[in-house]
Amino acid sequence: MEKLKLKDIFTKKTRDYTFAILFLLIFSGFIVFAIRPSITTAFSLKKEEADLDKIDKTYESKIMDIASIQSQIEDHREELHLLDDAVSQYPEVNKMVEDVKTIADRNNFLIKKANIADVDLSVSKKSMDKVSLIVEGKTSFEDFMIFMNDLHSQRRLKTIDKVIIGRDLESTGSGSLRVVITIDGYYL
């Protein structure tokens, strides 16, 4: 075999192939280290844009809901005091007892005993709480039904938790009932 000469190695064809190979290697390195991070960033930004569009639509929906609520509040501004009447800021037990006593007197409901239960005065609450009034008395069935209707027609929100109706053993009349009723009043 003939010895390779240095000038045979550096022919035009060899230099062209060497230049092409070096160009491809450098270009590959450039793609990996310069273009790939840009493409990755572009795709992550596209995903982030889609996420932000979704969040934007959610926020827009919430803003529209708030605007609708504000509109309703403006429409009913004169009636907002009714909410304060229905659910007070404090337990106002004396007001609740007075309301129940007033309608009891008006409807021939003779109150024998009244107890207050379940009052929580802690400050760190975020929800509505209740105060329970347990009333024991005697009345007729008709008067009791009128009492219940009057109780439900009052402005302060009250619910009946429990009603126990029995025959009054001390009464000589046949129409007298012994009633134990638990009334819950709500406050913030």
| pLDDT tens, residue by residue, 22-72 | 999 988 888 778 777 888 899 999 999 999 999 999 999 999 999 999 999
Rounded mean pLDDT, 10-19: 79
Q: Is the pTM of this model over 0.85?
A: no
Cα separation, 122 vs 137, in Å, equals 32
The second-level CATH assignment, the architecture, of 87-187 is 2-Layer Sandwich (3.30)
Domain residue extents for the chain: 7-73, 87-187
Chain centroid offset of residue 40 CA: 40
Letter for the amino acid at 148? M
Query: Which range among 20-24, 30-34, 126-130, 156-160 has the greatest average pLDDT?
Result: 20-24
Categorize the per-residue pLDDT at 171 as very low, low, confident or very high, splitting at 50, 70 and 90.
low
